[in-house]
Amino acid sequence: MTDHLPLCVDLDGTLIASDTLYDSLAEVLRTCPWRMAEILMALPRGKLAFKQALAGIVVPDPAGLPYRVEVLDWIRAESRHRPVFLATAADQRIAERVAAHLACFEGVIASRERNLSGAAKARALEARFGSGGFDYAGNASIDLEVWRCARSAIVVTGDNTLTDRARAVAMVARVFPEDRGKPTPRVWARAARVHQWVKNLLLFLAPMAAHRLHEPAVFAEAVLGFIAFCLAASAGYLINDLVDLPADRAHSTKRERPIAAGSITVRAGFLGALLLAAAGLMLALALSPGFAGFVAAYLVLGQAYSAWLKRKVLIDVAVLATLYSLRVAAGAAAVEVPLSFWLLALSAYGFVSLALLKRYAELVAEADRATSVAYRGYRDCDRPVVLAFGAGAGLAASLVMALYVDSQASQNLYAHPEYLWLLVAMLTLGIARLWIAAGRGLLHEDPVLHVFRDRVSLALGAAAALVVVMAV
């Protein structure tokens, strides 16, 4: 268009592939979660009061919002020959910051004294520009009320049904297909970190060590426990992505994560996390209250780690090791078998070694830097200490295994416990290989995940299983 009729542009879902309301909620969870109660208390007074309470605490950084590039380029081109207004139901403070950042809007029309969405926005724009006196860009069915009183509609959607409905009430001047369509199951699987579920196989260790996994009822309970833990863990990953949203959007590679990239909306992320957590906890409770307690503890500790504890030197290692060990303890609770002291001791030392290994691999990857790695407090000069403690913890795990083989407990469970000495050698070899790989800069992922993907580690695991069968 080349005339001078004002162009009004919606913000949430149109100019950006997100919703600033939910972005703000995520920011509160990240920076001041204790103020959520204050925000929720405003909800009974209406959506406007809720938005105002939220904007009074946080306003998303406009530089980090996921702008629709094609739409933004078009708006900037239009602003050269006609006035462009940001017309949004978002709080006035949010809209003004976005407009100031982009510097292509002549004015802002946003929620201040009333919630400016749907019919309220239509009345406000009609009162200011007159019926048919403006063009309007929107993206949702609630914008039909605005398009009805606009001269023409600019539709930002991948939904043909919405485009047809817009044509029924206004002249559609242009359609911008969404950069990304509705999230596919594959996109959701990426966001839920389904590939990380292999770590939850640790739940099978306790029933396996107790020689109970072959029992159909125990195996079924272990599988259900595994599913419950996977659902809860995926809820935790979604919450992490919501909390880390600003940092992920600014990161060179993490910006491609589904929520940061806008493939999954922040609103859908919140809903997905809630549903996964509820499903995981309900399934866990159906198995046993004790198991549900472990799942809940994992969720709480996992969020505390992501929000704060991962930046505390050595405390982060203790928490990581605890999160791994919680899986083992949860497996025992799921099938209601006693948690062996030997298994707990082996897990404690082994997982401390793996947690330190993870930090050591990060330090090796950042060897040229003398500053903190990923804001987690470790420095390059810490490498020898991390290596010493980590390798030492790994050897301690092997020592625990050796003491178990020589104990009365192994004599009671195995007909040929002498074969178990091979497990000591295999465990020591496996741990040594991991530390050598990390020292060479070859460890680029979670060590437990690496074990499940590494062919030699899998071969050692298969050989260990054969040794256990021989010992029985």
Encode pLDDT of 50-71 as tens digits: 999 999 999 988 988 889 999 9
Are residues 259 and 370 part of one domain?
no
203 and 88 belong to one structural domain: no
- Is residue 1 a part of any domain in this protein? no
Structure tokens at 299: 């969720």
* Residue 179 pLDDT: 61
Amino acid identity of residue 158, one-letter, is G
Where do we find the tokens 């020292």?
439
Which structural domain, as residue segments, surrounds residue 155?
7-176
What's the whole-number average pLDDT of the chain? 89
435 in any annotated domain = yes
Round to whole Å and give the CA distance between 328 and 221: 14
Which among 166, 191, 193 has a CA at the least distance from the CA of 180? 191
Model confidence pLDDT, tens digit, residues 323-342: 999 999 999 999 999 988 99
pLDDT, one tens digit per residue, over 96-145 is: 999 999 999 999 999 988 999 999 999 999 999 999 999 999 999 999 99
Same domain, 139 and 222: no
Average pLDDT of the segment spanning 36-44: 88
Final residue in a domain of this structure, among 337, 356, 387:
337
Q: Tell me: do 460 and 345 sit in the same domain.
A: yes
Q: Compute CA 351 distance to the chain's CA centroid, rounded to the nearest angstrom.
A: 23
Q: Is residue 436 part of a domain?
A: yes
From first CA to last CA, the distance across the chain in angstroms is 81
Beta strands in 10-96 (DSSP E): 84-91
**Are 270 and 405 members of one domain?**
no
Number of separate domains in the chain: 3
Residue whose pair of structure tokens reads 């139901």 in the numeric block: 89
Question: Across residues 396-406, what is the average pLDDT?
Answer: 94
- If asked whether residues 123 and 246 sit together in one domain, one would say no
Give the distance, in angstroms, between the CA of residue 470 and the centroid of all CA atoms in the same chain. 42
Cβ-contact 140, 162 below 8 angstroms: yes
Closest by CA position to 242, among listed 263, 259, 264, 262? 259
Does 162 share its domain with 29?
Answer: yes
β-bridge pairing 107-111 and 84-91? parallel
